[in-house]
Structure 1
Amino acid sequence: MKFAWCTHFLRSWSGAVGVAALLGALFFFSCPTGVQAEPFPVYDEIKPKVAFWKDIYSRYPSTQGLLHDRFDLDLVYAVLEVENTWDNAARRRNRNQINAGREEYRAILLHLAAGHAPRNAKEERVLALFGDRASPERLRRAADNIRFQRGLKDRFREGVIRSGAYLAQIKEILRQYGLPEDLAYLPHVESSFNYEAYSRLGAAGIWQFMRATGRQYMTIDYVLDERRDPIRATHAAAQLLRENHQRLGNWPLAITAYNHGATGMIRARNQHGDYPSIIRHYSGNRFGFASRNFYSEFLAAREVAKNAERYFGPLDLEPQRRSHEIVLSGYVSLAELAAHLGVDVATLHRYNQGLREPVLQGEKYVPKGYHLRLPADQPTVRLASALPDTMLRQAQRRSAFYTVRRGDTAWEIARRHGVSLSALMAANQLNSRATIYAGQNLRIPGVDEPAVMLAAASGAGAGKTRVAEAPPAQEPTAPATAAAPPVEAAPEVVAVAGEPAPGQVTEQAAAEDYQVAGALADPREVAAAGARLASARDNGWSLAMAERVAESRPDYVGEGVAPEAAGELLSSRRALSLSGNGSRLPAMTMAVAGAGEPATGAVNPAVVWGNLSVEEVRDLADGRRVGYIRVEVEETLGHYADWLSIPTQELRRLNGFPFGRPIRLEQRLMIPLDRGVEQAFFEEQRYEYHKSLEEDFYAAYRVDGVETYRVRPGDNIWQLSHDEFELPLWLIRKYNPELVLDRLRPGDEIRVPVVLARQR
């Protein structure tokens, strides 16, 4: 980062407001005087754009949209009525209507461009839009630049209401950095002040930071994602905006750089000079519609938000969310903390939105040193100021995963790691048959996690849990759109208590496994589960469920049940009793497997694909110890350097890579394992990175089918993923495990998931 003190300030701003104010003041008075007087000029060249976006934000709701020219936004051809629902059928109807409208007006424009007279009132109106600009060349160009923009009035209004919770604090933070406080309205453009906003390509929070940019200013890992914290993200946005302004000299360019990047805007300024000239003439790489309009959108959003009651009528804004902050001196269970403070976990999360799902679910602790915010008007402040030592841990919970190999079963994996099958199934949302595939990375739930969510299973259509030879990549086949993967719906769950010691399984967990094994209807697993339960008991009695098994399933005889196991299973008549007083196992809800489930098991949203383990470890002749890994999607040398706590250049030297040389998918690389970072820790960091990407995406979106794209000459997977599909590369890889994505050939077929936003 350019200014090291900025990072220090972000990490400890709560105790350094005075320093921040001083530094902000110094920056403010060092700014050009013109910036102070007129920070956000409305140039004549962009007035039509600003008017267009004001209409989008304040006039047209999300049930309407405009067909307009991509470059001249005052050329609006039609207002379309569209459906504002979440289902795939509505999406297709909207798409068909928009495409039909686009083709209709394209034909009109080409007709007029050919020199023909208007044939009706609609064509006369279209021609009149151009006025003295109606040259044949201009009309032909317009025919290829018809765009649809949905209205945002209702969403913008909701954003104004939501903004009440933090707007005053955001303005204060911007003032601390010496920035114009009206920049506080920029989140209306980015996210409509939606604190849960997450884009299809991975931008998060009200300021919509991408992960790579956000990590320069914030903590973003498996436990924390400070992009989602409105206060911490505002500090980061203030630093980025200030740096943009220092590099570019004025706010129109600095704000545009927030979308397009400072380097790109410096290139544009060097070529064309001022902002109006850039908007008129610059056609740099990726300077598309969003970047070209970003500053105009900000001006429109600022106008509408500052005068919201003029556009929307009286509004009842969310009350300001005042809080008190403490710094945790140890790692803390969020559930224990909530119980101690007398508030619920949801309230703590509402004030600390940077805490990720693993913390909320008890998989991870709130980290040591975290600045925890609490409701200021609650008696919790006194309790939080002196947490008992018994609540503070000195280490974080570790993450564990296992890469499935051919021949594995979920049962064997659970037993090998000392956890119950039911817990393993729940942690990975395995279907009722516990189907797994080679190449999947199963999360191993911690034996000391506070609760286990028992995944429901069912005997319907049950079969063996043997791992498939390979993912059924060829399914689904035609037609172009396939049914949604049934694994998107999580199985019904019931809570199960019990905290087995490391490497052991409690009697109750073993009993649960026996029930699951019965549902799976595999006699070997039933027998093994019975023996496992028997070995877990220490009060002199054993399982008698085998009596029922023997009566109801005589076909088990001769199916490979070991005589000693069968004898153990039949050794008692006390079927499900866990003690002499007749207490029984909790009821278990069984999930019925859908008919298409085996064909889509490879796209289980809870399971990460890829080779995330170190393949080989060697001791080099010079005494250094190295490991060999394969590059996976979404990984860079910077990620490896971060996980190993070494400079990126060290990895380049080790692998003989000159600066600027990119790495490629599945490339074999060496990493040092003699620099204080253990192999297991590296693998854990790598797994958590990929797991967090997928968890964040699936929390915001669901897959509603699969379409097929046929590769054309000139295509590459990065361009397709970002521009054509607007989907993360890991998701494309997950649905196409058999394709070598960086070596696509014309005619290759790519399965593209149809993604819809989840209702909030």
Structure 2
Amino acid sequence: MVHLRFLVAATLLFCVFTGGVSPARAAHDPFPLYDCITPNVAFWRDIYGKYPSSQGVLHDKRNLGIIYEVLDIEGVWENGARERDRQRIERAKERYLEILNTLASGASPQSREEKRVAGLFGPQATPEDFRLAQDNIRFQSGQKDNFREGLIRSGSYLAEIKEIMASYGVPEDLAYLPHVESSFNYKAYSKFGAAGIWQFTESSGKQFNLDVDYAIDERRDPLKATHAAARMLRHNYEKLGTWPLAVTAYNHGINGMMRAKAAKGDYEKIFQEHESGLFKFASRNFYSEFLAAREVAKNYKLYFGSLPIEPPVNSKGVVLPNYALVSDLVKHLKVDLETFKGLNPALREPVYRGQKLIPKGYEVRVPQQGKAVRLADNIPQGILKEDQAQTTMYQVRQGDTAFSIAKEYGINATDLLRGNGLDEQAVICPGQNLRIPSPNERVVHLVASIKKKADSERVSVVIPVTSGEKMAVQGGKEPPALPVVKLQGAPVSPPPGQPLKAAAAPEAPVAQGPAKVAEPVVAKAKGAQCPSLNPATVLGNLGVEVSKKQGKSYGTIRVEAEETLGHYARWLGVRAWDLRRLNNLRYEQSLAVNQRVKIPLGKGSKQRFEAQRYEFHKEMVEDFFAAYRLVEGTRNYRVKQGDTIWSLCQNEFELPFWLIKKYNESVDFSQLKPGVRLVVPRVEAKS
């Protein structure tokens, strides 16, 4: 291997004078394999087709041809395995850092390992090369088994995805890009809120016409999301002019790539020379990953042999003319709930819990065979509703009890608790936001079989139905009514900072009569902490303070984590520019947590705004904890000079800001100062 700097210079000259790719190859393939990225494509081809998740590669992140070692790891998240793998990787990095440090001092390699590492850099390597390499050691886990599963899953929609790509006039091979984004995992959800096989964020999904709210998330529908991905990729190509740049922009963002193109000109120079705070390893390698994934997927039998590729989904879409309760629709279609859920992944759990109706205009997908198509074309008016089910939110105050809140809204305390996923182990605390179930809801349990890998387990799906309505489940039998619990007793003050648990239904049989359960209370001391509060609980002041000026109503809110002016504008039905002008905000000025913002209010808009705001935060926590779980213990981090909460969340913690904020309620994140101690939870992915 030749000297690194000579290799970079020679490769750059080759790319400049030859175009970096043979003319014949470039002329026929919209996705050329430039010679200057060939080692990277080979690296990712091995990651996808050679190394399983029980192995990983310790390598140089700028020269992917330098591989220090292939490590055996556990490669799973459960039972502390991820932490053991982390420690194993760190020990290996430390060994190579010592070797590189010795070589960087100018000393000749002595040991067998020092000679082997020096040989990776070629005979002309200098101490400076070894010094630079100390900052570039990176570990990449293998993905062969995950890629294999993705290949099997891809059969369900790959043919349709290719057709959609072709319909937008973009290369159909872009259908292989989800192998890089999500391994065709239709339930994929990142820690920062990217969802579905195309990994759209909420903002990017809405930008390309995907509906995302508490009832529906079209990012999770592989076909609807593919339409959005095709629009985005075509937009990238129209702005940037080449598919390598358009694909890279899918990861890095169109604006960043336009700046890179303006500075460097073409893909090869951007790949080799472009440096910025955001254009890092992932962006630089994204196009190489795509080329490798495309090659492995197209020739999968060479890497995996024969695979049981899933057959294409055979379904038909029927547009729903109005809102409908999912239990009513499933009953009419005579389709079992799990089949319906599998065909309609865009519908969120609140729809299946009956808290929201299937939206008007939603394209319901039903099995192509059987009576379902005919029944879907003839939905009776009796099950259609004119309006969406509205959410009423209540923020718990000091001195509140489950009983007092329920009494205020004319509902049963047990329904209040269960409607918020609370049981006898739960707590209610000041600042907690609760959803108020409608008075005519009651809870039934629909038992469904869900297979997870080789195991089967019985799970309960909670579906509220209107009182007096019968629902055919489990052989047509109506489930028994749940016991009604009347919470009794006067509030009892807990020890400081220790709120009592909120009691729910008794364990005793109904025939014994309602149990007398001590009334749940909240901490009364101002600022009392709720140490046992479920992090999935929606906290924060989501209410609106109302005032009037010159006969017009205005509201004042305090900014919560993850909120933007765009959110407020959408919830109010106004332009973000109008909110900027109302609050004297500059165009580029971003909001800070706890900042006061003034909003215009029309008739009923206060309640709608509060409800949508609550649903936005509830959606975030529900989606996150559906994909991840907290593990025991936390770690501490002391803020350093130059840290921002955004850089810490992205690079140091790899966790969303809203979750960090829950563990650090007393910290002023608008003025994060060096030395501040932050508590960071430990999180792992669910299987």
TM-score by structure 1 length?
A: 0.77
Partner of 2:269: 277
Closer, same or farther: CA 587–69 of 1 in aligned 2, 3 Å: farther
In the alignment, structure 1 segments of 5+ residues that lack a partner are 1-32, 455-491, 502-507, 527-575, 591-597
Distance in 1 of aligned mates of 2:271 and 2:516: 63
Closer, same or farther: CA 235–738 of 1 in aligned 2, 3 Å: same
One of 261, 265, 268 as aligned partner of 2:253? 261
One of 726, 743, 746 as aligned partner of 2:654? 726
Give CA deviations for 1:468-514 in whole Å, capped at 9, x if unaligned. Answer: xxxxxxxxxxxxxxxxxxxxxxxx9897998569xxxxxx9996223
1:738 positional shift: 1.6
Partner of 1:483: none
Superposition pairs of residues 550-561 of structure 1, within 5 angstroms: none
1:125 positional shift: 1.4
What is the percent sequence identity of the aligned residues?
50
Partner of 2:490: 524
Give CA deviations for 1:313-336 in whole Å, capped at 9, x if unaligned. Answer: 001100100211111111111122
Distance in 2 of aligned mates of 1:724 and 1:431: 35
Indicate whether 1:427 and 2:409 are aligned: no
Partner of 2:227: 235
Give CA deviations for 1:328-365 in whole Å, capped at 9, x if unaligned. Answer: 11111112211211111211111111111101221111
One of 695, 710, 713 as aligned partner of 2:622? 695
Contact 1:453 1:495 survives alignment (8 Å): yes
One of 312, 316, 335 as aligned partner of 2:304? 312
Closer, same or farther: CA 82–587 of 1 in aligned 2, 3 Å: farther
One of 93, 96, 104 as aligned partner of 1:113? 104
Partner of 2:77: 86
Contact 1:205 1:227 survives alignment (8 Å): yes
Greater strand proportion = 2
One of 537, 550, 566 as aligned partner of 1:638? 566
Q: Which amino acid aligns with 2:110?
A: R
Q: Which amino acid aligns with 2:106?
A: G
Partner of 2:170: 179
Contact 1:62 1:150 survives alignment (8 Å): yes
Give CA deviations for 1:124-182 in whole Å, capped at 9, x if unaligned. Answer: 11111111452111111101210000000000000000000000000000000011110
Distance in 2 of aligned mates of 1:385 and 1:158: 36
Task: Work out which of the two has the higher radius of gyration on C-alpha atoms and give 1 or 2.
Answer: 1
Give CA deviations for 1:31-58 in whole Å, capped at 9, x if unaligned. Answer: xx99873200111110000000000000
Is the deviation greater in 650-659 or in 42-51? Answer: 650-659
Distance in 1 of aligned mates of 2:110 and 2:407: 77
Partner of 1:344: 336
Partner of 1:512: 484
Partner of 2:537: 607
1:624 positional shift: 2.3
Contact 2:25 2:32 survives alignment (8 Å): no
Distance in 2 of aligned mates of 1:585 and 1:57: 60
Superposition pairs of residues 97-246 of structure 1, within 5 angstroms: 97-132=88-123, 134-217=125-208, 218-246=210-238
Is the deviation greater in 418-427 or in 731-740? Answer: 418-427
Give CA deviations for 1:607-649 in whole Å, capped at 9, x if unaligned. Answer: 201111102x12213x322111111111111111111111111
Distance in 2 of aligned mates of 1:142 and 1:437: 52
Greater helix proportion = 1
Q: Which amino acid aligns with 2:139?
A: F
Indicate whether 1:620 and 2:549 are aligned: yes
Closer, same or farther: CA 177–587 of 1 in aligned 2, 3 Å: farther
Closer, same or farther: CA 35–176 of 1 in aligned 2, 3 Å: farther
Distance in 2 of aligned mates of 1:351 and 1:374: 7
1:113 positional shift: 1.6
Partner of 1:682: 609
Give the secondary structure class of the aligned counterpart of 1:451. Answer: strand
Closer, same or farther: CA 86–352 of 1 in aligned 2, 3 Å: same
Distance in 2 of aligned mates of 1:633 and 1:737: 11
Contact 1:634 1:730 survives alignment (8 Å): yes
Distance in 1 of aligned mates of 2:462 and 2:249: 49
Give CA deviations for 1:232-277 in whole Å, capped at 9, x if unaligned. Answer: 0000000000000000000010000000011101111111111111
Partner of 1:738: 666
Q: Which amino acid aligns with 2:657?
A: L
Distance in 2 of aligned mates of 1:80 and 1:290: 21
Distance in 2 of aligned mates of 1:417 and 1:271: 61
In the alignment, structure 2 segments of 5+ residues that lack a partner are 1-23, 447-458, 469-479, 493-507, 519-527
RMSD, aligned CA: 2.7
Give the secondary structure class of the aligned counterpart of 1:215. Answer: helix
Distance in 2 of aligned mates of 1:137 and 1:204: 43
1:589 positional shift: 13
Q: Which amino acid aligns with 1:619?
A: K
Contact 1:338 1:344 survives alignment (8 Å): yes
Partner of 2:13: none
Closer, same or farther: CA 54–647 of 1 in aligned 2, 3 Å: same
Distance in 1 of aligned mates of 2:390 and 2:347: 17
Give the secondary structure class of the aligned counterpart of 1:156. Answer: helix
Give the secondary structure class of the aligned counterpart of 2:318. Answer: strand
Q: Which amino acid aligns with 1:278?
A: I
Q: What is the number of residues matched between the two proteins?
A: 615
Indicate whether 1:673 and 2:601 are aligned: yes
Give CA deviations for 1:500-547 in whole Å, capped at 9, x if unaligned. Answer: 69xxxxxx9996223xx4xxxx73379xxxxxxxxxxxxxxxxxxxxx
1:606 positional shift: 3.9
Give CA deviations for 1:179-213 in whole Å, capped at 9, x if unaligned. Answer: 11100000000000000000111110000011111
Distance in 1 of aligned mates of 2:624 and 2:124: 45
Give the secondary structure class of the aligned counterpart of 1:346. Answer: helix
Q: Which amino acid aligns with 2:244?
A: P
TM-score by structure 2 length?
A: 0.85
Partner of 2:449: none
Distance in 1 of aligned mates of 2:147 and 2:307: 12
1:658 positional shift: 2.5
Give CA deviations for 1:550-599 in whole Å, capped at 9, x if unaligned. Answer: xxxxxxxxxxxxxxxxxxxxxxxxxx998xxxx66699999xxxxxxx98
Contact 2:445 2:460 survives alignment (8 Å): yes
1:117 positional shift: 2.1
1:115 positional shift: 1.8
1:422 positional shift: 1.8
Partner of 1:553: none
Give CA deviations for 1:216-235 in whole Å, capped at 9, x if unaligned. Answer: 12101111110000000000
Q: Which amino acid aligns with 1:620?
A: K
Give the secondary structure class of the aligned counterpart of 2:679. Answer: strand
